C-alpha cells in the first residue's frame, strides 16, 4: 500500500463530467488500497473570470481581497469532487488551504508556502480511510489570518508541498499531456516522451519555457525528495493498472534513480523574451550594479547577460534579456537611471527567442555546445547571445528562426530516434 497525492489541473476538472472522470481515477487508487490526498485547481477558465471581476470592480484593488476572490475557484472544485466521490461510495471530504492549515508568507497573489501540518490527514487515512480533497493554489498567513494565493500554476506547488507534509510515496500531477517530452511535439512531431527526468533537468526545462510543471513545485520536490509523476488525466481510468510499476507518464526523480543518462535530455524554447543593449558605458567598477540594481528594485528578472569591451578600451557595451512583458518597464527604468549609468544610447528588440539545450550528461561530455553552434551556423541562424551552466546552455536568436533552431538541435542530439 502506498500513500499518494493526486493533482488535477483546470482542464481535468473543466465540468462535472470531467470531475466524474477524475473521481474514477481516485477511486481506482483507493480500491487498490492506497491512501490518497487529491489537490485540485479551479475549473478551466474560472480563475481568469474571477481575476477579470476583480479588475472590473477596481483598477487598484486590494491584493488581500483579490486573493479572497480568486481562491474561491479551487474551493468550488474541491467541494464538487468530494460530492462526486461520496456519490461513488468513496469516503471523502474537502479541505481549504486554511483548514489544514497551509501556512504561507504575506506576499498576496505570490505567497510562498512556509509550513503544512499533515497530521490530521494522516490520522484520517488510518482511522476513516478518508480521501482528502484539497483546494490548491491557496493558504493562510498565520499572523493576519488572511487567505493567500501562490501565483498562477500554484496548485502544482500545493500538491508537492502536501506530498512532503504527509510523507507521500509519490505525487502524481495529472494534466492534459501524458508526460514530459524532449521538446514541444507541436514544433517537432517526432518528440519523444521521457520515462524519467532528473529534478535538476526538470527545473531547467520548467524555467526555460516548458509549461508542464511550475518551477517552484520542482524546487520543492528536489528539496524534500518527493518523486513527481506527470501523467494524463484523459487516459481512461479503467485502462490503468494501479499496481503497475510503469504506467504511462514521466517520473521526476533524483539523478541517482536514472540508470542510463543521455547527454541531452530536452530542448526548451521561449518567445517571451526581449533584448536590451546599453551602448558605450564607462568600463569601471559599479557600473553593472547601477544598471541591474534599479531593475531588481522594479522586480524585473534579468536573464542572459553579455558584456563586450569597445574598441577604445574605456567603454563597454552591455546586452541582456528580460521577459517581453517587462520590456517597456525596463526601458523606462534604464532611462531614469541614465545620469547614474552614463551610457551613450540604448537599443532594444522584442523579436527574439531563447532556445535552450538541457542535459545532466553534459557534465561529462565536452563539445556539446560547439556542435550546436556549428549546426545553427549551417542553417544561417545568427546567435545574439549565449549563456551556459553545468547542465544547460541557451542561445538568443531572431524569433522567426525559433522552430527551425529547435528542430535542428532536436535532430542533432538524436532526440527523435
pLDDT tens digits for 218-267? Answer: 999 999 999 999 999 888 888 887 776 667 899 999 988 887 678 999 99
Mean pLDDT of the chain: 92
Structural domain range at position 281: 266-412
Q: Give percent above pLDDT 90 in the chain.
A: 72
pLDDT confidence tier of residue 310, bands split at 50, 70 and 90 = low
CA distance 214 to 414: 27
Q: Are residues 185 and 277 in the same domain?
A: no
pLDDT tens digits for 127-168? Answer: 999 999 999 999 999 999 999 999 888 999 999 999 999 999
Q: What is the pLDDT of residue 341?
A: 87
Helix axes 368-378, 402-412, angle to 10 degrees: 130
Q: What is the largest CA-CA distance in the chain?
A: 79
- 237 or 13, higher pLDDT: 13
Q: Are residues 251 and 272 in the same domain?
A: no
Q: Are residues 271 and 240 in the same domain?
A: no
Q: What is the pLDDT of residue 245?
A: 63
Q: Are residues 234 and 284 in the same domain?
A: no
Q: Are residues 234 and 278 in the same domain?
A: no
Query: Could you tell me the CATH number of the domain that includes residue 237?
Result: 3.40.1160.10
Residues paired with 388 in a beta bridge: 393
Cell for 177?
Answer: 499531456
CA distance 115 to 104: 7
Residues paired with 393 in a beta bridge: 357, 388
Q: Are residues 249 and 289 in the same domain?
A: no
Q: Are strands 266-282 and 345-358 parallel, antiparallel or unpaired?
A: antiparallel
CA distance 53 to 49: 6
Q: Are residues 10 and 155 in the same domain?
A: yes
Q: Are residues 301 and 231 in the same domain?
A: no
Residue 261 located in a structural domain: no
Q: Is pLDDT above 80 for 308?
A: no
**Cell match 491584493: residue?**
63
**Cell match 474514477: residue?**
24
CA distance 100 to 111: 17
Fill in the DSSP letter of residue 396. Answer: E
Is there a contact between 347 and 384 (Cβ–Cβ < 8 Å)? no
Q: Is pLDDT above 80 for 369?
A: yes
Q: Is the pTM of this model over 0.95?
A: no
Amino acid at each position: 500500500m502506498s500513500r499518494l497525492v493526486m493533482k488535477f489541473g483546470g482542464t481535468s476538472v473543466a465540468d462535472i463530467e470531467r470531475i466524474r472522470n477524475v473521481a474514477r481515477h481516485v477511486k481506482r487508487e483507493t480500491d487498490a488500497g492506497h491512501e490518497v490526498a487529491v489537490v485540485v485547481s479551479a475549473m478551466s477558465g474560472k480563475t481568469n473570470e474571477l481575476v477579470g471581476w476583480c479588475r472590473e470592480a477596481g483598477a487598484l484593488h486590494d491584493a488581500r481581497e483579490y486573493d479572497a476572490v480568486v481562491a474561491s475557484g479551487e474551493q468550488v472544485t474541491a467541494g464538487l469532487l468530494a460530492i462526486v466521490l461520496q456519490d461513488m461510495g468513496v469516503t471523502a471530504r474537502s479541505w481549504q488551504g486554511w483548514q489544514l492549515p497551509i501556512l504561507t508568507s504575506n506576499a498576496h497573489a505570490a505567497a510562498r508556502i512556509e509550513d503544512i501540518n499533515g497530521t490530521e490527514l494522516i490520522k484520517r487515512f488510518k482511522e476513516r480511510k478518508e480521501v482528502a480533497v484539497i483546494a490548491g493554489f491557496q493558504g493562510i498567513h498565520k499572523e493576519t489570518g488572511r487567505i493567500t494565493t501562490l501565483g498562477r500554476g500554484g496548485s502544482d506547488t500545493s500538491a508537492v508541498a502536501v506530498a512532503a507534509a504527509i510523507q507521500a510515496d509519490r505525487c502524481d500531477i495529472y494534466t492534459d499531456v501524458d508526460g514530459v517530452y524532449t521538446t514541444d511535439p507541436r514544433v517537432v512531431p517526432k518528440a519523444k516522451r521521457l520515462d524519467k527526468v532528473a529534478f535538476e533537468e526538470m527545473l531547467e526545462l520548467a524555467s526555460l519555457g516548458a509549461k508542464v510543471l511550475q518551477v517552484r513545485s520542482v524546487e520543492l520536490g528536489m528539496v524534500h525528495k518527493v518523486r513527481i509523476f506527470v501523467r494524463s488525466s484523459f487516459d481512461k481510468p479503467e485502462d490503468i493498472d494501479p499496481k503497475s510499476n510503469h504506467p504511462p507518464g514521466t517520473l521526476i526523480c533524483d539523478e541517482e534513480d536514472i540508470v542510463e543518462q543521455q547527454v541531452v535530455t530536452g530542448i526548451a524554447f521561449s518567445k517571451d523574451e526581449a533584448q536590451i543593449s546599453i551602448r558605450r558605458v564607462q568600463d569601471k567598477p559599479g557600473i553593472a550594479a547601477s544598471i541591474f540594481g534599479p531593475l531588481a528594485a522594479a522586480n524585473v528578472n534579468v536573464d542572459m547577460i553579455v558584456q563586450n569591451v569597445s574598441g577604445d578600451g574605456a567603454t563597454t557595451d552591455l546586452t541582456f534579456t528580460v521577459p517581453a512583458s517587462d520590456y517597456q518597464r525596463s526601458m523606462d527604468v534604464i532611462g531614469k537611471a541614465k545620469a547614474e549609468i552614463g551610457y551613450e544610447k540604448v537599443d532594444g528588440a522584442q523579436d527574439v527567442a531563447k532556445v535552450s539545450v538541457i542535459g545532466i550528461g553534459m557534465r561529462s561530455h565536452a563539445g556539446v555546445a560547439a556542435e550546436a553552434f556549428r549546426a545553427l551556423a549551417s542553417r544561417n541562424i545568427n546567435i545574439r547571445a549565449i549563456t551556459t551552466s553545468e547542465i544547460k546552455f541557451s542561445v538568443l536568436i531572431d524569433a522567426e528562426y525559433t522552430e527551425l533552431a529547435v528542430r535542428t538541435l532536436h535532430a542533432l542530439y538524436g532526440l527523435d530516434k
